[in-house]
Amino acid sequence: MALNIAVQMDHVSSIQIAGDTTFALCLEAQARGHRLHHYTPDSLSQEEDRIHAWLEPLEVRDVRDNHFTLGAPVRTDLSDMDVVLLRQDPPFDMNYITTTHMLERIHPGTLVVNDPAWVRNSPEKIFVTEFADLMPATLITRNRADVAAFREKHGDVIIKPLYGNGGAGIFHMREDDRNLASLLEMFEQIFREPYIVQQYLPAVRKGDKRIILIDGEPVGAINRVPADHDSRSNMHVGGRAEHSDLTEREREICARIGPALRERGFILVGIDVIGDWLTEINVTSPTGVREVKKFGGADIAALFWDAVERRAAG
């Protein structure tokens, strides 16, 4: 049965289709005969207990610079949709959190993927701390003395915004770097929230692996290798993607976190692993689906819609 699907995303005109997971999901949904509708978070509204958005019928094509057609926007009660994909990118700020409160009003009558309440309650760099024994040494704080003591204990560290994404604002501070105080001053001016400080893992030079899980089960992985001049492996800041199989340690990590993902109703999740250590659990808009398929791995978009269709039929 054809589903009515609304996709909450950054505007479709802004995406780079070659590596965009949301676009891959839309292509697969369209191929299955589902009806796609596009909207951006700023078109959401709540009137009494009804949640509306200005939906535009969406057609997608895997053609660079000609990848979409949008119809005329129509103000639509989202409870009339079968599925809403929550796919806009962070930052995970109060605007993002507000959209989860709105979407929670229609879920699960309208299936929202991923579950908006659990997305709100599972920030990617905090949720992962539930598995502290799988992580490198980690500190979450705004306190300068605590950061200094942590670096003195662990040597080289990574400092990054707690609610950032895509590699933005990530700094590698060496044990003897004299810029720590200046960096913390800058962070204090920019961010109201605590920041995250982690022990630097030299294994990142060999890659930061993205593993995709569907319903808590690993279905594919890519390795993201940082450029020579950068400590970040994110692909849109110069990281290089390459094929990767799962190691026994990575399967162990997936087996440990899988029950928690299923308990929270997370259908699509991406985790990041450096060496033997889990660093993030991405539940907002995880990427990597197109790259896995490009390197001969699973068609994760198809596995995703298989899972969504089972939920929608149930």
Q: Is residue 228 annotated as part of the catalytic site, yes or no?
A: no
* Beta carbons of 180 and 130 less than 8 angstroms apart: no
In the set 151, 210, 264, 290, the catalytic residue is: 210
Q: Is residue 209 annotated as part of the catalytic site, yes or no?
A: no
Q: Is 64 exposed, middle or buried (0-12, 13-18, 19+ CB in 10 A)?
A: exposed
Q: Is residue 165 annotated as part of the catalytic site, yes or no?
A: no
Nearest to 226 by CA among 212, 209, 248: 209
In the set 87, 120, 209, 224, the catalytic residue is: 224
Q: Is residue 152 annotated as part of the catalytic site, yes or no?
A: no
In the set 208, 250, 272, 291, the catalytic residue is: 272
In the set 114, 165, 223, 282, the catalytic residue is: 282
Q: Is residue 125 annotated as part of the catalytic site, yes or no?
A: yes
Residues 101-123 as b/e (b if ≥16 CB within 10 A, e otherwise) read ebbbbbbeebbbbbbbbbbbebb
- Concatenate the DSSP letters of all residues of the chain into one string: -PPEEEEE-S-GGG--GGG-HHHHHHHHHHHTTPEEEEE-GGG-EEETTEEEEEEEEEEE-S-TT--EEE---EEEEGGG-SEEEE-PPPP-SHHHHHHHHHHHTTTTTSEEES-HHHHHT--HHHHGGGGGGGS--EEEES-HHHHHHHHHHHSSEEEEETT--TTTT-EEE-TT-TTHHHHHHHHHHH-SS-EEEEE--GGGGG-EEEEEEETTEEEEEEEEEPPTT-S---GGGT-EEEE-PPPHHHHHHHHHHHHHHHHTT-SEEEEEEETTEEEEEE-SS---HHHHHHTT---HHHHHHHHHHHHHH-
Q: Is residue 240 annotated as part of the catalytic site, yes or no?
A: no
In the set 120, 160, 264, 290, the catalytic residue is: 160
In the set 280, 290, 291, 309, the catalytic residue is: 280
In the set 87, 151, 209, 232, the catalytic residue is: 232
Q: Is residue 160 annotated as part of the catalytic site, yes or no?
A: yes
In the set 87, 125, 264, 290, the catalytic residue is: 125
Query: Which residues are marked as active site?
Result: 125, 160, 210, 224, 232, 272, 280, 282
